[in-house]
Amino acid sequence: MWAVVINPVAGRGKGSESGARVCAILNRENVAFEIVSGTNATATSERLSQFLSRFPTASGVISVGGDGLAHLVLQHVASTSIPFLVIPAGTGNDFARTLGWSVQQSDSEETLVMRALSTRPAPIDLGLVDSEWFGAILSTGFDSIVNERANHMRWPRGPAKYNVAMLQEIVKFQPRHYSIILENRVIDTQAMLIAIGNGQSYGGGMQVCPDANLHDGLFDVMILKPISTIEFLKVFPKVYKGLHIQHPAVEIFRSRSVKIDADAVAYADGERIGALPIMAENVSGAGLTWIH
C-alpha cells in the first residue's frame, strides 16, 4: 500500500493537477494506494500518521507538492524502512533538485512514479536539527529574516514575494555575531548568512552549497562574511550557479555536526525552526528514496 500525500494548493493549484496524474498512473499500474490530504499541514500530518499506523510496512509515501510538504513527510519516514518519493509540484522544489530531478520536465510524474515502481530506493543523508528532520538547507541570517517578512506578506504571491522582501530588508540589514561549533573547530565571527547544506539549493534554485553531497555524511557550511549592500547585490545573482563561493567573503567548511548561537532565527527547507541556539547533525542513510 502506498500513500499519496497531496498539497492541492501547492504551486497555485499544480499540486492538485499533479496529484491527479500520479493517482492515474498508479491506477493504470494496478497499484494499491490511499490519498492523504488535509485542509492544513497539521491535518495532513495527522492523517499521514494514521495511515502509517495502519500500514507500518507501507510500500512508500509519495509527496506531491512543494518543499514544505516534503519536509512534513520526512518527519514521518526518516530513519524508517519506508521509502519516500518527491513529486515537484510547488514553487521552490529544492528537495527535488537536491535529489537530482528536473523540476521543468513535463512528464515528471510518469518518470518518477515508474522509477519508484520498478527500481530499488537508495539511502541518503538527512539533517536533524533539534529533533526535526530536513533534507536540503538549514540557514540563519539574512535569508531567514527575508523568510520572516515574506511569510507575513499577502502580495505578491509566488517567488516574487521573496524578492520584494529581500529588497525591503537589505537596506536596513546588519550582520550578526555568530558562535559556531563544528566537529573540529570553533568559529566566532560576524556574518550576513550561514547555510548548512545537506543538499545544494534553496529558494527555488539558489545553489548556496553547490558541492554538498547526499552521501558523504557531512554538511557543507557556507558562511558569508559582512559585505556592503552594493557588493551583496552584485554577488547575489551568482548564487543561482553556485559561483558566489568564489567571493573572498565566502567560507566553506565541512562538518558532521554544527552548533550555532546568535540573536537570530533559523529555517530548514523553508520551514521555521525557531530562535537560536540550534544543534544540527548529519545522519548518514537516514532517508530512503529515489535519486536521479
Q: pLDDT for 148-206, tens place per residue?
A: 887 777 777 666 777 788 778 887 888 999 999 999 999 999 999 999 999 999 888 89
How does the average pLDDT of the chain come out, rounded?
A: 92
- The residues near 54 (Cβ < 8 Å, ≥ 6 apart) are none
Q: pLDDT for 118-135, tens place per residue?
A: 999 999 999 999 999 999
Q: What is the DSSP letter of 186?
A: E
Range of 207's domain?
134-289
User: How many percent of the chain have pLDDT more than 90?
Assistant: 73
What is the predicted pLDDT for the residue at 86?
Answer: 96
What is the predicted pLDDT for the residue at 158?
Answer: 64
From 172, 135, 144, select the one nearest 283 (Cα to Cα). 135
Q: pLDDT for 169-179, tens place per residue?
A: 887 888 999 99
Q: Does any domain span residue 126?
A: no
Residue 138 and residue 280 in one domain: yes
Q: Does any domain span residue 129?
A: no
Cell numbers for 46: 495527522
| 172 vs 85, higher pLDDT | 85
Residue 172 and residue 242 in one domain: yes
From 204, 203, 245, select the one nearest 223 (Cα to Cα). 245
What is the predicted pLDDT for the residue at 172?
Answer: 83
Report whether pLDDT(91) > 90: no
Say what the pTM is: 0.92
Look up the CATH number of the domain holding residue 106: 3.40.50.10330
Given 119, 143, 172, the domain boundary residue is 119
Report whether pLDDT(103) > 90: no
Residue 140 and residue 216 in one domain: yes
Q: Does any domain span residue 257?
A: yes
What is the predicted pLDDT for the residue at 166?
Answer: 79
Report whether pLDDT(13) > 90: no
User: How many percent of the chain have pLDDT more than 70?
Assistant: 97
Hey, what long-range contacts does 231-237 have (CB within 8 A, 24 or more apart)?
232/170, 232/192, 233/170
Please compute the mean of the pLDDT values over residues 68-97 and round it to a whole number. Answer: 93
Residue 139 and residue 283 in one domain: yes
Cell numbers for 235: 554577488
Q: Does any domain span residue 168?
A: yes
The CA distances from residue 83 to 67, 121, 136, 149, in Å, are: 17, 7, 17, 34
Look up the CATH number of the domain holding residue 257: 2.60.200.40
| 78 vs 104, higher pLDDT | 78
Q: How many domains does the chain have?
A: 2
- The residues near 230 (Cβ < 8 Å, ≥ 6 apart) are none
Backbone angles phi, psi at 193, to 5 degrees: -160, 140
Report whether pLDDT(106) > 60: no
Given 91, 119, 147, the domain boundary residue is 119
Residue 156 and residue 69 in one domain: no
Q: Does any domain span residue 264?
A: yes
